[in-house]
Structure 1
Amino acid sequence: MLQEVSARLRKDLIRGLGKHSHHKAPVKMLPTFVRATPDGTEKGDFLALDLGGTNFRVLHVRLEEAQKVLKMGSQICTIPQAMMVGKGEQLKGQTLPLGFTFSFPCEQLEIDKSILIHWTKGFKCSEVEGKDVVQLLKEAIHRKRDCHIGSVAMVNDTVGTMMSCGYIDQSCEIGMIIGTGTNACYMEEMKNVKRIEGEDGRMCINTEWGGFGDDRSLADILTEIITHLSRSCDHFEKMISGMYLGEIVRLVLVKMTKDKLLFKGQISKALGTPGQFETKFISEIEDGLENAMKILTELGLVWDPVDASVVHLVCDTISSRSAHLCAAALATLVNRIRNNRKLDHLETTVGVDGTVYRKHPTSKLQKAMRLLAPQCNITFFVSEDSSGKGAAITAAVAQRLKKSCSTMCTKASE
C-alpha cells in the first residue's frame, strides 16, 4: 500500500511541475529559484530574518573556512496580536536581513521576488496578500533611513533546512520538516520544471506535499477521523504532523470508550475536550506503560492495566502510520533524484527538522525507507537552528553564483 501511495505522489509531482497542469495540482511543486546547494566555500557575514510563527528572529551569521557556522548574535521578538492582524507596514518595520525565511504560502518569481498567496498561523496583516513580500521588506528597511542591506534571498523553512545541512554535508539535496506541519523540498533537474524557462542545471522545488490527497487520490486510506479533521484540505499533512496527531489519538480513544472498549465506558472531561490530548503524550506513552498510566490519571480517567496497554497500542499505531506515510513520500523524492540522474545507486543526505522527528522514534521511518527505496543509501542530518542559518547560507550561495556568473561574463567579453 505504501508503494501505491508513493506511485500516486510521483504522478502528482509531475503534474505540479507541468506548465499547464500545475494550477490544479494538489502538490504545488513551487520553484524556489535556489539554483545550487552550498559547496562549503561560502564565507562572510550575513544577516537573516526568520518569520514563520508568533516570534521572529534576527540573526547575524558568520560563515568561516572548514564549513564552520558561527551565530554571532540573535534577537527574538514576540509579535503582538495587534501587529499580527494590523497593517503589513507595521509588521515589517524593524528588520535587516539578507536571508529571509518566510514560512507562508508564496508564489516565488525569483529568489528575491515572492508573492504572498495567503496568510496562515493566525496572521491577518492587511495590504500584504497578493504583494511581493521581499519588496515590502526592502521598503520597510528603507524607511529606517539609517539601515542598509544588500540583496535579499527568500526561502521557506524546508529550503532553509536543506541549505543549513548542505553547508556541512554537500550531499544534502533534500530538506524535510516533520513538526507542527510537514513539507519537503529537493533539487530537481531544470529540464523537468516546465513552468520555468531554461534547461540547464537544477533548481530546488518546494513540494508543499501537505496537500497531497486533496483531490481525493488518497480516499481509500482516509479514515472517518481524518476526513472529519481535514474538511477537504491538507489530508496528507493531517495524518503526519504534530498539530493533529494528538487529536487523532484523542478521537480514537473517545470512540473506543463510547463503544465500551475502554475506561468502563466513562469519558472524562479532559478526554472529551478537543486539544487536551497533546501530541507530546504520544511519544511519552511510546516510551513505556508507566508514562501511559501517569498521563491517563492526569486526564482524569479511571483505567486498568489493559486500558493502559490499549492506549499504548493506539499511540504506536498512529505514530507508525505517520512515519510510514512520511517514508512513502520521501522515498518518492529520493527515487526521483536517482532516476533523473540515471544512477544504479544513490547516496544522499536528507536535512530534517521538526519536533515530531526529534521526539518520536525514527527507526520506523528509516526501516520503511530501506524497503521503499532499496537502491538509495540515505543519511538523515538533523538540522540545528536551520530557519535562520539556512536563510543566511542561501544568501551566501546566491552571492557566490552571482560572482561566478559575473566572472564568466567578464572572461567571455574579453
Structure 2
Amino acid sequence: MPLVSAMTSLGESFVSALKSLFRGKSFLKTFLAFWTTPVAPVVPISPQDAGAKANADPAADFLAEAEHLLLGHIEAGGLMQFSRKLKRQFRERLRSNPECMLPSYNSQLPSGHETGQYLALDVGGSTLRVALVELRGRGVSGPEGSIIRMDSFKIDSDARNLRGTEFFDWMAERIHRTVAKNSARGHSPDHPLLMGLAWSFPIEQTSSKGGKLSAMGKGFLANEGLIGEDLGEIIKSACKKQGLHVELSAIVNDSSAALLSEAYTTPSTRFSLILGTGVNIAVHLPVTTIDQPKFGDRPSSWHEKASHVIINTELGMFGHGILPITKWDKVLKAAHPRPDFQPLEQLVSGYYIGEICRLALLDAISSTGIFGGVVPPSLQTPYSLDTETLSLIEADLTPTLTSALHTFTTRHPSPPTYQPTPTDLTFLRTLSAQVTRRSASVVAASIYALWELKAEAEAELLATLPDTSPFVAETAAEVASARGRTTVAFNGSVVEHYPGYRRVLQGFVDGLLVEGEGGSGNGGLKGVGEIALVEARESSLRGAAVALACLS
C-alpha cells in the first residue's frame, strides 16, 4: 500500500475513532481495527471528485433517493395519471371480479328523519360492543343521534378459542346483560327485539339481515361446525337460550356502517374511508355499474326499489401492475404469505407503514452509517417497528426530540456502544414522513378515482333513463350533488390519529380536484365544489342502528 494512501487512511481512522470515542465507542478498539481490516484497492481520485466526496452527506443522499422512490409518482401530473389507472381497474372489477366491488343490501341512504331506539352490536377482532342507540332526526336541538348506553367486552384469547356455538352463547350472555339493564324494552316471541350488527369478518350476505358464516380468521374458532349456517339464525338461537327474543334485522360491514352513520347527519355523504390496520372504501353507486351476477339471488322486489347501492370496494385488492413500488416494497412482498392478495393495502395501511419504514431504515443504517451503523437488535425482527411508534416520533416537533428519543430507545434499545442522537431521530422522522405521505397520495388517488367514476356513472344512467322512470329525480339529484360538496366519512387509527395524515390526505384530494376540474374523464364537471373528509364517530354502532332504522 503506498505510504500517502496509508497515511491518509490512518488519518481518517484517527478522526473516526475520535468521533466514536465521543459516542461511547472504544477508541482503542476502533484504532486497532484499522490494522486488522483489509484495505480496499486504491482508486485514483480526481480533484473534482475529491471535493465532491468531501462534501458528500450519505444520509442526505439516502433521503433524497427515498423521496424520489416513494414520491416520484406525484410529480408532473403523475398522481392524476395513477388515479385514472385505478379508475379503469375499478370499472373492470365492477363487472368481473367476484372478490371486490361487492354490492351490499343497503339500497337506501337514510333520510335523516328516522327516529327511535335501536339495539346495535359491533363485533370486532378484539372487542364486542353492545349499545342502545337513539336516533332523534335532523333539525332537532342537540345531537341527531346518541349512544344511550354501551357495554364493551374484551374478546380475549379464551373467547377466541370458544368453538362453534360456544362463542355465540358467550356473545348472547353479554347481550342479555346490556338489555336487562333497560327494563322498559320489552320483548317476546311475537315482538322480538330488533338488532343491527356491524360484523368485521367475512360473510356471504344473502339478505339485509342474513348471511352465510365464513371462516373468521384472526385466531377465532367460532366458525367451527357452522360454516355456511345463517349468522342471523345462529345469534337468534343463542339469545333464545338466555330467554332473550331478538331478531337480527340488519348486517353491515365497517365501511358501509361508516357511510350510513355519517349520511344520517350529513346528507352529502356518498363515500366512507376506513384506514387503520387495514384499508377500505365504500361508495354509493348506481346499480347499473355492477354486473348482475354480483347481486346473487335477490328478490325482484329489491331490484324494483333499488336505483343505487352501497358498494364495498375491498380497496386493498387493487393496484396490480400500477402501484409506485420501491425496492423496500419488493422485499416486503417477497416475505409475505399472500404477496399479491392486497397490493394496495401493503402501501398504505397501518399494518404495513411501519414495516416499510423498518426495511428502509435497515438499508440506511448499513449504507450511510446513520444510527452509528448499529441496528437496534429488535429491529431485526419483521414488523417490529410499528406505525404507532412512528406516529409518536413524528408528533415530537421540538428541536431536541426528547420525547421521540425516549419513545424509540425504550421500544428499540441500542447496544451500549451507541446511543441514538437527535440527528438520527430527525432522519427517521423524515423517512417515516415520506412513507406516510406516499400512503396518503395513494388513498387520495383512490378517493378521487371513485369520485370521478361515480360522477360518470350518474351521468350515464341519467342519459339512459326514460322520462317515466321513478329513478329520474333521484339520479338527477345525484348528478347535481357532485357539483357541490361531497362528504367522505372516515375512521381508523391512521387517518384519525397519525400526526398530519388527514391534512396531507385532504391536500392531495384538493390538488386532484383542481387539476381535474373541467378536464376529460371527470364526468364533465366544471366548477366543482369540494370533497370533504369528515370523521364518523362510533360509526360501527351508529351505522348498524341507521341500517336497522332504514329497514324499519
Alpha-carbon offset, residue 324 of structure 1:
0.7
The match for 2:45 is none
SS at match of 1:256: helix
Distance of 1:80 and 1:98 partners within structure 2:
24
Q: Which residue of 2 aligns with 1:313?
A: 430
Residue aligned with 1:120, SS: coil
Kindly tell me: are residues 43 and 311 of structure 1, through their superposed partners in 2, closer, same or farther at Cα, counting changes over 3 Å? same
Aligned-residue sequence identity (percent) comes to 27
Match of 1:217 among 316, 321, 327: 321
Q: Equivalents in 2 of 1:369, 1:219: separation in Å?
A: 18
Q: Is the 8 A contact 2:102 2:311 kept in 1?
A: yes
Change in Cα spacing, 1:272 to 1:366, as seen in structure 2 (3 Å) is: same
Moved more, 201-210 or 147-156: 147-156
Query: Which is strand-richer, 1 or 2?
Result: 1
1:285 corresponds to: 393
Q: Which residue of 1 aligns with 2:307?
A: 201
Change (3 A) 1:22 1:54: same
Most deviating of 85-94 and 383-392: 85-94
Which residue matches 1:402?
none
SS at match of 1:98: strand
Whether 1:155 and 2:259 are equivalent positions in the alignment is no
Q: Deviations over 1:183-215 (max 9, x none)?
A: 1101110122222373741110111111113xx
Q: How many residues align?
A: 391
Equivalent position of 1:392 in the other structure: 545
Q: Which amino acid aligns with 1:345?
A: R
Alignment match, 1:8: 85
Distance in 1 of aligned mates of 2:206 and 2:385:
41
The CA deviation at 1:5 is: 3.0
2:139 is aligned with 1:63: no
Change (3 A) 1:22 1:232: closer
> Which structure 2 residues correspond to residues 164-183 of structure 1 after superposition, within 5 A?
164-183=261-280
Q: Decide which moves more: 190-199 or 241-250.
A: 190-199
The structural deviation recorded for 1:174 is 1.0
Kept in 2: contact 1:45–1:60 (CA 8 A): yes
**TM-score, normalization by structure 1:** 0.87
Contact in 2 for aligned 1:282/1:319 (Cα 8 Å): no
Q: Report the 3-state secondary structure (helix = DSSP H, G, I; strand = E; otherwise coil) of the residue aligned with 2:385.
A: coil
Moved more, 338-347 or 31-40: 338-347
8 Å CA contact 2:487–2:533 kept in 1: the answer is yes
Aligned to 2:191: none
Matched, 1:336 2:459: no
Runs of 4+ in 1 over 4 A off after TM superposition: none
> Alpha-carbon deviation of 1:153?
0.3
- Change in 2 beyond 3 A, CA 1:226/1:271: closer
**Partner in structure 2 of residue 42 of structure 1:** 114
Deviations, residues 12-62 of structure 1 (Å, cap 9, x unaligned): 3223322xx223x6xx01111101121111111100111011210111111
Is 1:33 aligned to residue 105 of structure 2? yes
Query: CA 1:317–1:257 in structure 2 vs 1: closer, same or farther (change >3 Å)?
Result: same
Q: Which residue of 1 aligns with 2:485?
A: 347
Deviation at 1:322, TM superposition (A): 0.9
Tell me, yes or no, if the aligned pair for 2:405 and 2:425 is still in contact at 8 Å: yes
Structure-1 separation of matches of 2:195 and 2:547: 9
Letter in 1 for 2:234: L
Distance 1:229-1:106 versus aligned 2 partners, 3 A rule: farther
Which is further off, 117-126 or 178-187? Answer: 117-126
Instruction: Give, in angstroms, the shift of residue 296 of structure 1.
Output: 3.6
Q: State the one-letter code of the partner of 2:284.
A: M
Residues 31 and 205 in structure 1, CA contact (< 8 A), matched pair in contact too:
yes
CA distance in 1, matches of 2:262, 2:492: 14
3-state SS in 1 of match to 2:369: coil
2:237 aligns with one of 136, 139, 154: 139
Q: Which ranges of structure 1 fall in alignment gaps of 5 or more residues?
A: 400-414
2:44 aligns with none
Shift of 1:112: 1.3
Tell me the amino acid that sits aligned with residue 236 of structure 1: L
- Give 2:166's aligned residue: 90
CA distance in 1, matches of 2:430, 2:248: 52
> Which residue does 1:324 correspond to in 2?
441
Structure 1 window deviating more from structure 2 (184-193 vs 133-142): it is 133-142
1:366 aligns to what? Answer: 506
TM-score by length of 2: 0.67
Shift of 1:229: 5.3
Question: Contact 1:57–1:77 (CA<8 Å) still a contact in 2?
Answer: yes
Deviates more, 1:155-164 or 1:103-112: 103-112
Distance in 1, Cα, partners of 2:435 & 2:228:
38
Q: Which residue of 2 aligns with 1:411?
A: none
For residue 235 of structure 1, the aligned residue among 340, 343, 346 is 343
Gap change, CA 1:142 and 1:373, over 3 Å in 2: farther
Separation of aligned partners in 1, 2:206 and 2:391: 40
Residue from 15, 22, 30 that aligns with 2:97: 22
Q: Which residue of 2 aligns with 1:412?
A: none
In structure 2, the partner of 1:75 is 151
Deviations 1:122-178 (A, max 9, x none): 22321233333223222222333x212245100011111111111111111111111
Q: How has the CA–CA distance of structure 1 residues 247 and 190 changed in structure 2, closer, same or farther, with 3 Å as cutoff?
A: same
In 2, the alpha carbon distance for the partners of 1:129 and 1:211 equals 24
Task: Provide, for residues 258-313 of structure 1, a one-character-per-residue CA deviation record: whole Å limited to 9, x for no partner.
Answer: 22432121111232233432212222222326143333433224233432221111
Query: Which residue does 2:356 correspond to in 1?
Result: 248
Are the structure 2 counterparts of residues 225 and 116 from structure 1 closer, same or farther at C-alpha, using a change threshold of 3 Å? farther
Q: 1:188 aligns with which of 285, 304, 318?
A: 285
* Mapped contact 1:45–1:63 kept (Cα < 8 A): yes
SS of residue matched to 1:187? strand
Range with bigger deviation, 48-57 or 187-196: 187-196
Of the candidates 406, 416, 420, which is equivalent to residue 294 of structure 1? 406
Matches of 2:154 and 2:265, distance apart in 1? 30
Q: Which has the higher mean CA deviation after the structures are superposed, 179-188 or 366-375?
A: 366-375
> Partners of 2:434 and 2:509 in 1: how far apart?
18
SS of the residue 2:212 aligns to: strand
Equivalent-residue separation in structure 2 for 1:311 and 1:285 (angstroms) = 8
Cα offset, 1:319, TM superposition = 0.8
Asked whether the equivalents of residues 106 and 547 of structure 2 are also in contact (C-alpha less than 8 Å), the reply is yes
Pair 358,220 (structure 1): closer, same or farther in 2 beyond 3 Å = closer
The verdict on how the C-alpha distance between 1:8 and 1:137 changes in structure 2, with shifts beyond 3 A counting, is farther
> Residues 346 and 130 from structure 1, CA distance in 2 versus in 1: closer, same or farther, beyond 3 angstroms?
farther
Larger radius of gyration: 2
CA distance 1:306–1:207, change in 2 (3 Å): same
| Contact 2:393/2:404, CA 8 A, preserved across alignment | yes
